[in-house]
Amino acid sequence: MLLPALLVAVVGIIVWQKWRGPEIRAYRVESHPLIQQVVATGRVASDDRADIGSEITAVVKERLVDRGQPVQENEVLITLSADQLKAQEQEAQAALALMRSSRRPQAQARLEQAQSHLAQAKREVQRRRLLAKEKAIPTEDLEQAENALAAAQAGFDQAKLDVSALAQGGVEESILQQRLNAIRASLDKTQIRAPFSGTVLERYVSPGDTVQPGQALLTLRDQSKIELLVPVDERNLGVLEVGQPAIIIADAYPNEPFRAEITSIAPVIDPQRGTVDIRLSAAPAPDFLKEDMTITATIETARNDAALVVPNDTLFQQNGNRAKVWVYSHGKANETQVRTGLNSLALSQITEGLSAGDIVLGSTDGLTDGQRVRATISPLPQSRTINAAERTDGETPMKLD
């Protein structure tokens, strides 16, 4: 009698379990912080780079920097040979000193001498005019005195002009000073300096090379204006805005994330790839960033600190912001229409169709409306930011519907 009773019990349990339906993982609808993100890969880029050149023809004497080296504004990068210019500077200094110490006093002395000769010539002319009036001397003697006066006047006028030209701040001193300033300006150009703080991307000359005006000697990138160029699927254009924050992870430094924000969104779409280029800036940019380095950008496009959420795998028949879920109630699965809002990597916001505390089913393939099921409640999956080690090429689009 024991065996038949046991068999009946086993059959009863099997029938009862079958009547209860299959066991399905389920989640309780609850309020949860939700961050909507767009994750995309890109590279380090910079439009603020400059080719540093020479303004004079000279020979490279010394190159003080190399590729990848950081430099500060006004730091000397390259020194050009300056021997000839230094000789010209000494010559110009000597000419200016000679003018001030010798030529100027000599001109003043000549002026005083010419002034004395002029006074004497005037007196002589006056004397001879009196004698000629009394017929005491021939007319030729008076003419000679008047010619001497004219010559003395011309000499005085020239001496006066010379003194004026050689006077302090005069034409001669100005010309010599400008010549000296020009030589010194050329000397200064033998020191090729950094116009801004940055990093040397390329160098094109070595000591001994002859350089010409306009020739590029170095390429310098402005480290303070590094940009991050990220092509994003055009489907996400509607949720992207200038100023949105992002977390950036360089593939080479996965444990050193840093913050950035969108500074511009391209006005055109790349028709070949179906992407739109966005640029982000980090202030300050980490020192380890290098040109064309691969990075992953996790851009925060929206946030709700108390969103009513369900796991993404509970949604089916999605069409825009409309979808369906299976709601567990009284041991049965009931098909329910819902409206969605924000989406993250793991969770979706429900704005209509569910209430806090409702239970929704996951992995619902093959269910029919009203079917009996057994729900096993699991905790909600946690939303998190993807890291460089986990990323895949391309992007993870999550749009605000």
Same domain, 272 and 351: yes
Average pLDDT score over the chain: 84
Check: pTM over 0.75? Answer yes or no: no
175 or 398, which is more confident? 175
User: pLDDT category, 3, cuts 50, 70, 90?
Assistant: low
The terminus-to-terminus CA distance of the chain in angstroms comes to 66
Q: How many domains, in total, are found in the chain? A: 3
Residues 251 and 391 in one domain: yes
With cut-offs at 50, 70 and 90, classify the pLDDT of residue 35.
Answer: confident
- Same-domain status, 366 and 311: yes
- CATH number for position 324: 2.40.30.170
Is the model more confident about 289 or about 332? 332
- Check whether residue 284 and residue 383 sit in a common domain: yes
For 241, other C-beta atoms within 10 Å of its C-beta total 11
φ, ψ of residue 119 to 5 degrees: the values are -65, -40
Q: Could you report the per-residue pLDDT of 185-210, keeping only the tens digit for each?
A: 888 989 999 988 888 888 999 999 99
Domain assignment present for 180: yes
pLDDT at 389: 39
Domain membership of residue 3 (yes or no) is no
How far is residue 226's CA from residue 143's CA, in Å, rounded to a whole number?
88
Question: Could you tell me the two tokens for 116?
Answer: 């004395």
Rg of the chain over Cα atoms, rounded to whole angstroms, equals 46
pLDDT digits (tens, 9 = 90+) for 104-156: 888 788 888 888 888 888 888 888 888 878 877 888 887 888 898 898 888 88
For residue 237, pLDDT beyond 70: yes
Same domain? For 61 and 32 the reply is no
338 φ/ψ angles, rounded to the nearest 5 degrees: -135, 165
Tell which of 167, 187, 207 closes a domain. 187
Q: Which of 76-85, 105-114, 264-273 has the lowest mean pLDDT?
A: 105-114
For residue 7, pLDDT over 70 is answered with no
Neighbours of 45 (CB within 10 A): 17
Does some domain include residue 340? yes
E strand or H helix at 297, and its extent?
Answer: strand 294-311
Domain, as residue range, for 152:
84-187
CATH number at residue 105: 1.10.287.470
pLDDT tens digits for 299-316? 998 888 889 999 998 999
CB 282 within 8 A of CB 226: yes
pLDDT at 385: 43
